[in-house]
Amino acid sequence: MTELIVRNLHVSIEGKEILKGLNLTLPKGEVHAIMGPNGTGKSTLAYTLMGHPAYEVTEGEILFKDQNVLELEPNERSILGIFLAFQYPVGIPGVTVANFIRSAINARRRALNPQDKGIQLLEFRKQVKEKMELLQMDPAFAGRYLNDGFSGGEKKRAEILQMAMLKPEIAILDETDSGLDIDALKIVSEGVNTLKGPDLGVLVITHYQRILNYIKPDVVHVMMDGRIVESGGSELALHLEEHGYEWIREKVNGLG
């Protein structure tokens, strides 16, 4: 089983139910987009997939590679191959980008082989340099404290840099387009496109259609009130851009 499966997912935060029976299947090798108005639970889905402790799953399941993802700690989910590019990456003063990514790579290697001695420094430097060039990042960036005083664009690039270095199988991009100007959006999207392939499933969570001009989705889902209410091809995104969400709301209410 190489797809991420979300079944009847109910999630509450501080006692308030946000996700109300969400279903989603994301096969590797595909790009899916989740669109929807603000406050419909898109970011809740992202955090829940990654295992944020504040989000309480009351019902349903998440499966990936024959594993019950809900039983795993966030670090175990990461090692299983799930990656979340955060909408709001947290600053870690005193820890450099390079040191952090190296720790993450080594944690991964040790999880697979407890005897592992960690990635060779030269090899690591080579890889970081290569990925940073891809994302048009200044080499000095690797020596800066992680997300500490980064601009919005730098934070998002740092997220994609981590994704490139950690090579996940499922990548969730939570509003990666927010706060980016068009040039930065292009660079970040190109970065994601280079990483795309048969071994990577991508879930692009976004409020706007804009990013989907650069990262072409195979499937577009519309989320409303904690559920996926409509799915279609990439033309659905364009339709939403033109007509807004109201017609879907009416359709859903009509059905309900």
Partner 1 sequence: MIENTQVIINKSKSRSENKDFNFSKDQIRITSSEVINSYRDKAWESFSKTFIPTIKDDPWRRTDLRMLKVDRFELATSNDSTKKDTIPSNLLKPLADGEHGGQILISGNDVRSYLDPALEGQGVIFTDLLTAELKYPQLVEKIIGKIVEPSEGKFAAMTGALAQNGVFLYVPKNITIESPLHSLIWGSTIDFANTTHVMVYLEGGASVTYVHEVASDTETNGQSLQSSNIEMYVGPGSSLRFVELQSWGRHVWNFTHERVNVDRNGSVDWIFGAIGGHLTKNFAELNLIADGASGKMSGFYFTDQDQHLDYDSQQNHLAPHTTSDLLFKGALVEKSRSVWQGMIYVAPGADKTDGYQANRNLLLSRDARADSIPGLEILADDVRCTHGATVGKIDADQIFYLMARGIPRLEAERLIVEGFFDPIMQRIPFEGVRERFQQSITDKMKAYTG
Q: Report the interface residues with partner 1, using CB under 8 A.
A: 50-53, 73-75, 77-79, 83-84, 86, 89-90, 92-95, 99-100, 103-104, 107-108, 111, 145, 162, 166
Q: Which is nearer to partner 1, 32 or 108 (CB)?
A: 108
Q: Cβ of residue 146: shortest distance to partner 1, in angstroms?
A: 8
CB contact burial 60-86 (16+ within 10 A = b; e otherwise): bebbbeeeebeebeeeebbbbbbbbbb
Nearer to partner 1 by Cβ, of 112 and 182: the residue is 112
Closer to partner 1 by CB, 22 or 105: give it. 105
How far apart CA 116 and CA 113 sit, in angstroms, is: 5
Q: Which is nearer to partner 1, 84 or 128 (CB)?
A: 84
219 and 35 Cβ atoms separated by less than 8 Å:
no
Question: Distance between CA atoms of 162 and 100, rounded to whole angstroms?
Answer: 9
**Nearer CB in complex with partner 1: 51/191:** 51
Q: In 3D, which of 167, 163, 172, 160 has the Cα closest to residue 136?
A: 160
Question: Comparing C-alpha atoms, which of 24, 83, 70, 82 is closest to residue 223?
Answer: 24
Place of tokens 């879907």: 248
Q: Which is nearer to partner 1, 174 or 230 (CB)?
A: 174
CB of 13 to partner 1, least distance (A): 14
Q: Least CB distance from residue 243 to partner 1, whole Å?
A: 36
Least distance (Å) from partner 1 to the CB of residue 216? 26
Tell me which amino acid residue 15 is: G
Q: How far is the CB of 237 from partner 1 (least distance, A)?
A: 27
Residue in 204, 157, 212 with CA at minimum distance from that of residue 179: 157
Beta strands 3-13 and 16-27, pairing class = antiparallel
Residue 47 CB, shortest distance to partner 1, in Å, is 9
